[in-house]
Amino acid sequence: DEELCQMIVELNITDVVCGGIEELHYNFLIWKKVNVIDGIIADWHTALDKAVVDGLQPETLLKPQKQHLNL
């Protein structure tokens, strides 16, 4: 959505991790030099940990880490 893209740019966010994104928004964010990692299937804890520690590649399926499971 345009408002979210504008907020990302205004807040100087450098990386966006998402499950999916429309091509128009993807192209806009890339044009604005935002690193977009899309196609991620994971809980946010696991995705954030992977992005910060090991790097995260587009179209990745991650199993939840045991400490983040709510059983």
Residue ranges making up the domain that contains 62: 2-68
pLDDT digits (tens, 9 = 90+) for 28-54: 999 999 999 999 999 999 999 998 988
Backbone angles phi, psi at 60, to 5 degrees: -115, 135
The total of other beta-carbon atoms located within 10 Å of residue 37's CB is 19
Spell out the residues 6+ positions from residue 57 whose beta carbon is closer than 8 angstroms to its own. 37
| Domains in the chain, number | 1
**What's this model's pTM, rounded to 2 decimal places?**
0.80
Q: Is residue 55 classed as helix, strand or coil in its secondary structure?
A: coil
Model pLDDT for residues 2-27, shown as the tens digit of each residue: 999 999 999 999 999 999 999 999 99
Looking at 1-71, list the stretches that DSSP marks H as alpha helix, in order from N- to C-terminal side: 2-10, 23-31, 44-53
What's the residue count for the chain?
71
DSSP 13: -
Q: Note the pLDDT of residue 20.
A: 94
